[in-house]
Chain A
Amino acid sequence: QQPVQSPQAVILREGEDAVINCSSSKALYSVHWYRQKHGEAPVFLMILLKGGEQKGHEKISASFNEKKQQSSLYLTASQLSYSGTYFCGTERGGKLIFGQGTELSVKP
């Protein structure tokens, strides 16, 4: 039931782009994205509630494809502050089930 994220880890240079994918074997009604820095709590980035909907948060955007049961997070012109672990979460019966995470490291 846990959504599957890919890749597990990615290393970028400042200014490069990255895509993180989240897929589910079950129907998706909404997808949440969170970022967690080392030693800190997960912080909300965005929710996608409709199929095909794209939302943005500064230079971070996401898409949601209901038919393919997947969501993708796009990080454009990455900054050092983007480093952290990104989690997608899918709603199941009122609670969020999180993926295993994608660790993103942005180097100068």
Chain B
Amino acid sequence: DTGVSQDPRHKITKRGQNVTFRCDPISEHNRLYWYRQTLGQGPEFLTYFQNEAQLEKSRLLSDRFSAERPKGSFSTLEIQRTEQGDSAMYLCASSPGTEGEKLFFGSGTQLSVL
């Protein structure tokens, strides 16, 4: 069990550029979640997958955000035309697959949009 890994750890980009983050969940974990966290706030839900199916996407999420989980393994989160307000820590978490189970978080990707 190697834990949830995220890549890159840090990303600095210019406004208007596209960025993509990757998350590798714990193997055999069926559920994968993406959260966003800004300083002094709790993790804010973005989207989650059950295997390869995206079950829900936050209404707060603009169309510039898209996530995929091909083959139900790793997941990518893409932000198009980044804005300064997108600057945040993007956290990925996984769980075995049923409700009421704990989440295992990755170390996150810190995005800075200049």
Contacts and interface: CB of A to CB of B under 8 A. Distances in A.
Interface of A: 2, 30, 32, 34, 40-44, 47, 49, 87, 91, 93-101
A52 B91 CA distance: 31
Given A41-B91, A42-B103, 13 more contacts: A32-B102, A41-B4, A41-B106, A44-B103, A91-B100, A93-B56, A94-B48, A94-B99, A95-B33, A95-B45, A96-B45, A96-B103, A101-B41
A44 B48 contact: no
Of B33, B35, B48, B103, the most chain A CB neighbours within 10 A belong to B103
A76 to B, nearest CB: 22
Contacts of B105: 41-43
24 contacts: A30-B100, A32-B102, A41-B4, A41-B91, A41-B106, A41-B107, A42-B43, A42-B105, A43-B105, A44-B102, A47-B100, A47-B101, A47-B102, A49-B100, A91-B99, A93-B56, A94-B56, A95-B48, A96-B33, A98-B43, A98-B44, A99-B42, A100-B42, A101-B41
